[in-house]
Each structure stands twice: as structure tokens, then as C-alpha cells.
A = this chain, B = another copy of it.
Amino acid sequence: MKKIALLTAIGLIGLSANFASAQNNMLTKEMIDHANMIGKNALKSSVTEDVITSLTTEVGHRLAGTANDKKGREWAVAKMKEMGFDRVWTEPVPFPVWHRGNTAILRMTAPFEQNLAMTALGTSVGTPEGGITAEVVQFDEYKDLAAAAPNSLDGKIAYISFRMEDSGVAGAKGYGYAGQARRNGSVAAAKAGASAIIIRSIGTDDNRTPHTGSMTYVDGVKKIPAAAISNPDADLLDQALKYGKPVTLHMEMNPHPHDPVTTYNVFGEITGTEDPEKAVLISGHLDSWDLATGALDDGTGVSIVMSAGKHIIDGGIKPKRSIRVVLWAAEEEGLLGAHEFVRAHKEDNKDFDNMILGAEWDSGTGRIVDFEPGVGPTSLAVAREIAAVLAPYGVATLMTNTAKGDSDMSALGNAGMPAVNFGMEKTNYFDFHHTANDTLDKVDIPAITNNAAVFAMFAYLAASVDVDFRK
């Protein structure tokens, strides 16, 4: 902090171009050499693989608020202590827990009889006892359902047949666009009088493993049951609808919300030698959906950042500022752990500005291919210097400076914390995301080992260099 203040003061009185450049070049040869050593050893290590194998085998799913969520937390605390973190602790996150229940039946009863593979969307209410049997009304897209007139669906089941294109999160018809059906479909359907809503899974696969995911209800609109069917089942329903006869479905499921409980964010710290209260955060989310072992979402993030911490510890040199490995709680329900962190550290602890830089991995199993900073103008060159050290690991530096943090970290980024986003190669993530197929066999171990090396080097350098990334 002292050096930063000095730098700024010097900057204000005017500098030659060379001097400014020298001052911006804050990474020392020692730092770079040490980071390279950490990275090199990380690539030879099996710890990233060991961590994700241990998590998925010993714990399994980690649906927020369940006994498995607690088991995952206990696993993480024990594992980080064993790894040699200086401090390991948890911080509470109150939230309303939800259980999927043990029944999820969808049966076409006319004009043909067929069983369809269905799963409840996260936080959906159940059907009434005995289920709902009703005619289905098909909509091509969410926006068509949103335009349905009040009472036009009275007593019907709304169905959105839109298929997500395989164009990732940002694609024009990709996850974000298609996901409107999941996030907002139940409200739109209820406004038009529907008794329930079924959506085609937000996924790119052709497996009969429907994709769950979060949805929202809003005050003043009736809560109706919401569920997803797999792509092959949606194809079948679409075929049946082509006959032009009424198609009726029997839907029965018993998910149920509960009163708020407390879950916890988990922290492991490598304590800084000079400004320990300041911290670089690297994170994943510990919770998962409950249909599988949450290997891709977000077992990979958990294993990447935990093993990155271990690589830094094993490197033997502590950085000036602290590094905190953060495992967020209740991401799937809407970044609840991260939002609570922002609230608590702004309102209660009042130390939010000590979070100097953050990066998250919640992207499955692809290799990191680029680095985009979101930092202040005077620290941008340093951020790019850090990125340049990562170049031998296949990491390109993006020339934009707009990163707000991925996933949970975006809650912190939007609250003012500087962030880095790591972009990744294309994978088949949306084939498995939020399904029963999110298991260890889908994980590319060399890729996540590589990513752990990148996270370790990044965090070490960012915590070692004397620069204020807010500026």
C-alpha cells in the first residue's frame, strides 16, 4: 500500500516515458522465476486429479443445504488443513433449502402413451397430490409464451420446445438465450393461466438425462410446477404434436422447499507477509445440483483452485498479500454465497476493499486459452505482464479490460472488486451440465492440471506484486 501511494504521487508530477514504463513493470525476475517453478511443478503433480477424484468419490453431489452439502464442506475444510493452508474457515450463508423429492413422472396419455424422462427445475414447487393431467400447448420459444394472453392457457400445461444451439453461453441462440425458458418460463406460463410448465432441456446432447437448473418465481404470480424433459423426449413430444390431435400429459413430481437454513462459504488462506489483510481470491463453487457428482459443475473449479493453493504452498515462498481459495456456497440457486459475502464484507466487516483481485473457474473441463483483466487503468500494464508469464501455458492476453469475474465472482466484480476472467476452449460442457451425466469420466485431467498451474501462477504473481488493481 505504501509503495502504491508513492507511485501514484510520482505519476502525478509527470514522468518520462521510460521511467513510467519501468515503474509499471512491477514483476521482478525473482517473482517470474518462482511463478515458472510453481507452474512447472504443477504440471507434474497429480493433486488436481486427486482432489476431484476424492470429492466426487467420497462426497458425491452437494445440493445446497442438504446433508451432502455439509459433507462436502467438512471434506473441504479437512482437505485444506491437510494441504497446509495457514487459515481455514467458513462464513455463514442463510438461504431457503430445496429438495427434489423422489417422484418425477411425465407420461403422455394421448394420442399415444409414452413415458418421458423429466426432472424438476431447481426451486420448483411440486404438483398437487396425484399429479396434473392436462393438454399441452406448445410454444416455439420463450418469447412466444411470454406473449400469451391471460387465461389463454387456463388448465393447460405450457411447453417450450426451443432447442439450445451449441454456441456456448454468449451465442445468439446459446445458453443465455435458451435459458430464458428455464429461468422465466414458469412466471410467463402462470400469467397465462397454465397449471404447469415443461421445457426442452437447456442442453446440447441427445441423452435421456434431462437438465435441471435454477428458475424464479415472482411475488403476485402463482407458483406452478416447472420441469425439463430431455432432448430425445422433447423430439418425441414434438412428433406427437405433429399429428394435430390434442396431446395430454400426466405430470407428477414432489419437490419441496423448506424454511431457510444456513450453508457456508469455505475459505483457505495463504497468509501474506506484508499486507495480510489484502487478498487475491481464486474460487470455484462447492455446491452442485443433485443428479450426479457435480464433477464438471463445479468439481473442476474446486479442484483447480484448491490444488493451485497447494502448489503455491509447496513453492515455499509466501506472497506479500494473502491468497484466499474460496469455495462458494449455493451458487446454483443464484450466487447466494457470493452475494452474502459482498453484503457481509461491505456492511459487517467493512473490508470488501481489501479484496484486491479475483478469478473464478466455473467452466467445466476446457483448457484456459485467454486472460481478460478488469482492473484500473494504472494497473492494466501489470495485469498484462502477469498474463504474459502465462503465455507458455497457451494463455493469450485479450486487449479488452472489462472483466467483472466469472460466475460467483461476478457478484464481487459488480460490487467493485477488480477481476480477471479466464476464457476457455470449446468443450461439450452443455452436453452434461446440470444432468445425471456430470461425472468424473467427463473431466479432462490434463486440462484441469494445466488450469491449476495457470491459477497458481496468476494468484502468486498478483499477490506478490505491489500494485492496486482498483487504480
Given contacts A53-B239, A439-B208, contact A112 B58 (CB under 8 A): yes
Which parts of A436-465 form the interface with B (CB within 8 Å)? 436-437, 439-442
Does A232 lie within 8 Å of B117, measured CB to CB? no
Question: Among residues 224 to 276 in chain A, which have CB atoms less than 8 Å away from a CB atom of chain B?
Answer: 231-232, 235-236, 239-240
A64-B203 Cα distance, complex, nearest whole Å: 33
In the complex the two chains form, what is the Cα distance from A442 to B207 in whole Å?
10
Point out the residues of chain B lying under 8 angstroms from A239, CB to CB: 53, 56-57, 440
A324 to B58 alpha-carbon distance, docked (Å): 57
Q: Do the beta carbons of A57 and B112 come within 8 Å of each other? A: yes
Question: What distance in Å separates the Cβ of A437 from its nearest Cβ neighbour in chain B?
Answer: 5
Beta-carbon contacts under 8 Å, A105-163 to B: 112-115, 117
CB of A357 within 8 Å of the partner chain: no
Using known A-B contacts A207-B209, A292-B208, determine if residue A56 contacts B437 with beta carbons closer than 8 Å: no
For A207, the chain B residues whose CB sits under 8 A away are: 207, 209, 437
Q: Is the CB of A113 within 8 A of B208?
A: no
Interface size class of A (residues with CB under 8 A): 20 to 34
Q: Which residues of B contact A293 (CB under 8 A)?
A: 114, 236
Q: Say whether A208 contacts B206, CB under 8 Å.
A: no
State whether the Cβ of A39 lies closer than 8 Å to any Cβ in chain B: no
Partner of A208, one of B112, B209, B240: B209
Provide the A423-443 mask, 1 if CB < 8 A to any CB of B, else 0. 000000000000011011110
Chain B CB within 8 A of A374 CB: no
Inter-chain contact B441/A57, CB cutoff 8 Å: no
List the number of copies, as a whole number. Answer: 2
In the complex, are the beta carbons of A235 and B113 less than 8 A apart? Answer: no
CA distance A436 to B116 in the complex (A): 10
**Chain B, residue nearest A236 (CB):** B57
Q: Which of B57, B117, B235, B292 meets A240, CB within 8 Å?
A: B57
Q: Which parts of A90-115 form the interface with B (CB within 8 Å)?
A: 112-115
- Please, which residue of chain B has its CB at the minimum distance from the CB of A67? B113
Q: Is there an interface contact between A235 and B439, defined as CB atoms closer than 8 Å?
A: yes
Give CA–CA (A436, B229) in the complex, Å.
Answer: 13
B436:A117 contact, CB within 8 angstroms: yes
Indicate which residue in B235, B440, B442 contacts A236 across the interface (CB closer than 8 Å): B440
CA distance A5 to B133 in the complex (A): 67
Q: How far is the CA of A439 from the CA of B208 in the complex (A)?
A: 9
Query: Are B209 and A439 touching (Cβ within 8 A)?
Result: no
Min CB distance A403 to B, Å, is 33
B235 adjacent to A440 (CB under 8 Å)? yes
A57-B239, A208-B292 are contacts. A232–B112 as well, Cβ < 8 Å? no
Let me know if A208 and B437 touch, CB within 8 A: yes
Q: Say if the beta carbon of A60 comes within 8 Å of chain B.
A: yes
User: Which single member of B59, B292, B441 contacts A235 (CB below 8 Å)?
Assistant: B441
**In the complex, chain B residues whose CB is within 8 Å of the CB of A240:** 57
Cross-chain contact A56 with B236 (CB below 8 angstroms): yes
Q: Which residue of B lies closest to A290 (CB)?
A: B115
Cβ contacts under 8 Å, A231 to chain B: 441
Query: Which residues of the other chain, B, contact A53 by a CB distance below 8 angstroms?
Result: 239
Min distance, Cβ A303 to any Cβ of chain B, angstroms: 14
Q: Are B236 and A439 in contact (CB under 8 A)?
A: yes
Nearest to A112 among chain B residues (CB) is B58
Kindly identify, within residues 70 to 100 of chain A, every residue whose CB is under 8 Å from any CB belonging to chain B. Answer: none
Query: In the complex where A57-B239, A112-B57, A232-B440 touch, is A209 in contact with B209 (Cβ < 8 A)?
Result: yes
Q: How far is the CA of A117 from the CA of B114 in the complex (A)?
A: 21
A439 CB contacts on chain B under 8 angstroms: 206, 208, 232, 235-236
20 contacts between A and B (CB under 8 A): A56-B236, A56-B239, A57-B112, A57-B114, A57-B236, A58-B112, A59-B112, A60-B113, A60-B115, A114-B293, A206-B437, A206-B441, A207-B209, A207-B437, A208-B437, A231-B441, A232-B440, A232-B441, A235-B440, A236-B293
Closest 4 CB pairs of A and B: A232-B439, A57-B239, A208-B436, A206-B441
* Besides the known contacts A57-B112, A60-B112, A60-B115, 7 further A-B residue pairs in the complex with CB atoms under 8 A apart: A68-B113, A206-B437, A207-B437, A208-B209, A231-B441, A232-B437, A235-B441
